[in-house]
Amino acid sequence: MADYQETLDFSSYAALGDSFTEGLNDPGPDGAFAGWADRLAGMLAARRPDGDFRYANLAVRGRLLDQIATEQVPQIRRIQPDLVTLCAGGNDILRPGSDPDLTAERFEAAVVELREHTGTLLICTGFDTKDVPVLRHLRGKIATYNAHLRAIADRNGCQVADLWSLRSVHDRRAWSDDRLHLSPEGHQRVALLAARSLGLPVAADPEAPWPARPEPTAAEQRRENLQWARTYLLPWVGRRLRGESSGDHVEAKRPELLPL
């Protein structure tokens, strides 16, 4: 694993993955999605006063693990950044009949290839879905996959951002209205966790308490659930039935290492 001194001197960073890493529902100043990876890149760039820092984000929403391995992982051989983050497999685990053991085997194959072409590799575990409607029944599969990811990290010298143990994202405010993607503050919490996992000092605690607020009534919660189902759940199910992906015809927002 990279030691503390090495983590302070990254001059380039490439992020791989799906909508989580693309940064959906976290609009930046230019209107494009930012997300935790862009926020982490900003933290890394700030540690290089000479301005010599480059960043690529190859993540695309809806991508399955095999697509990430085919489309994104080979690009690392070409650009060879100092740091790579790989967060993948979540969309696979969501699919009926998916096997977390087999998904982990394919994930490790991608990790082995990446380790040949980058100095430091950070991977992310999956979130704990115990409080998430519809997804809570997948908690056991996610936990199994996470156990594999930790073993893969140990075998291959990777750093780990443990999203499962990030308790602050259990607050509803960490998630956007679709309940599948993080809110801007949720992305910030993950960026802080990732930075800390790399050994970087961070300006805020990713587990800092949220401001107090009144809890919704049962009636308000029912109305919110019905609105969510109509607006987000039914279209999501429809895309699955039609074999469509939200990432169809979407390209990576930063396919090359460029100054941040």
Predicted local confidence at residue 122, as pLDDT: 98
Cβ atoms of residues 1 and 159 within 8 Å: yes
Ramachandran area for residue 179 (φ above 0: left; ψ -120 to 50: alpha; else beta): left
Q: What is the mean pLDDT of residues 186-198?
A: 98
Q: Within a 10 A sphere around the Cβ of 226, how many other Cβ atoms?
A: 10
d(CA 71, CA 63): 10
Calculate the CA 238 to chain-centre distance: 24
Q: What is the pLDDT of residues 95-144, one digit of tens each?
A: 989 999 999 999 999 999 999 999 999 999 999 999 877 788 999 999 99
Domain containing 150: what range? Answer: 4-259
Name the domain count of the chain. Answer: 1
246: closest CA among 232, 228, 230, 229?
Answer: 232
What does DSSP say about strands 83-87 and 12-17: parallel, antiparallel, or unpaired? parallel
Give the residue with greater pLDDT, 252 vs 239.
252
CATH assignment at residue 229: 3.40.50.1110
Q: Tell me the HSE value of 149 on the side-chain side, using a 13 A CA sphere.
A: 26
Predicted local confidence at residue 69, as pLDDT: 98
Helix (H, G, I), strand (E, B) or coil at 27: strand
d(CA 168, CA 74): 34
Q: What is the mean pLDDT of residues 56-65?
A: 96
Tell me the pTM.
Answer: 0.90
In sign, the C-alpha dihedral spanning 236, 240, 244, 248 is positive
